Amino acid sequence: MAAYGSDTTTEEVLRGHDLTGRHFMITGASSGLGEESSRALAQAGATVTMMARNPQKLENAIERIRSANPSAQLNAGIADLSDQKSIRNYAEGFLSTGSTVDVLINNAGVMVCPFSKTVDGIEMQFGTNHIGHFLLTNLLMPAILAGDNPRVINLSSAGHTHSDVNLNDPNFDESKYNAWESYGRSKSANIHFTQEIVRRYGDHIQSFAVHPGVILTDLGRHLTPELMNEMTERVKSRSTSSSEAKESGALPFKSIQAGAATQVWAAITNDLKDKNGAYLGDCQVGIEGGNPSESGYLPYIFNTETAKALWSLSENLVNQRFSGTD
């Protein structure tokens, strides 16, 4: 396995790779990590379907990439992950083309937003970050399984340490809303979802959950001084944080190129064949109990019964059943 780390960039991960003929689909591709992943993969020869909810922002991102790489093979896909009808409309249209998806990167997300619900009545962070991707992935599964060496990459976060999923009160109907707890629930859900994909589809598909690191992107637009302070105090209290982090509460920031590197690595490497379902950070396999700001994770994210129960809850929330190959 290549000696990658926290500063590894997408360019380094893709060096020597020719992705001509492979099709990647990336949600949240109109800015940040999604745009960088699209740019890097297209530079390596891949065809990339860039997905976002805002057509103009997506077109602007496509133009930015093409200005540097006029031959980039890019497609636009419009879907709002907080709107199940929008997701269904997109998936139906895509499947009707008969195209396949070699790699789906579920990159989009919202973070610590004020309490609100999706148009389908689901708490916004859980509804967008998990349920939207759960529905999109399962609807597109025929195209994914028909792909070459198919993979599903789910962008999670060290934020999973804020909370495991809450299967009894997913919408905060009975408990007081906390933005970080909600974010943690959704990021833990991304990992449980990864695990259940692997359990249901086995050798037919690879799936990985990814912690990108801390990057200054539009994802942090809802961060208030109060929320930043809450995060700082949490970092200070982590027994696995570095001595510097315990003292200051500071997190190691990455460039966008380094932040996107782990999900790109997960999407193209052959070094993870025996690590299907792994949690990844800093272009490395995660470490149970390690520093969450790097590649560490809490053990509750690998609970098989929780993953099964979350799948059932998710099916109920989208009012549709999805099976697998088992």
Q: Quickly count: other Cβ atoms within 10 Å of residue 2's Cβ.
A: 12
Residue corresponding to tokens 């999670």: 156
Indicate which residue of 4, 90, 183, 297 is catalytic: 183
Q: How far apart are CA 203 and CA 4, in angstroms?
A: 26
Indicate which residue of 6, 187, 201, 241 is catalytic: 187
Angle in degrees, 0-180, between the axes of helices 179-201 and 304-318, rounded to the nearest 10: 100
**CA separation, residue 141 to residues 120, 156, 188, 197, 267 (Å):** 22, 20, 22, 10, 16
Contact criterion met (CB below 8 Å) for 179 and 227: yes
Q: How far apart are CA 277 and CA 205, in angstroms?
A: 10
Which amino acid type is present at position 155? Answer: L
Q: Quickly count: other Cβ atoms within 10 Å of residue 252's Cβ.
A: 15
* Nearest in space to 206 (alpha carbons), one of 133, 129, 147: 147
DSSP 121-133: S-BHHIIIIIIIH
DSSP for residue 114: P
Element (H, E) at 308: helix 304-318
Buried b / exposed e across 177-192, counting CB within 10 Å, b at 16+?
A: ebbbbbbbbbbbbbbb
Q: How far apart are CA 227 and CA 210, in angstroms?
A: 23
Indicate which residue of 37, 38, 156, 163 is catalytic: 156
In this structure, the strands spanning 253-254 and 279-281 are unpaired
Question: Is 183 marked active-site?
Answer: yes
Question: Is 187 marked active-site?
Answer: yes
DSSP for residue 113: P
By CB atoms closer than 10 A (0-12, 13-18, 19+), residue 56 is exposed
Catalytic residues: 156, 183, 187
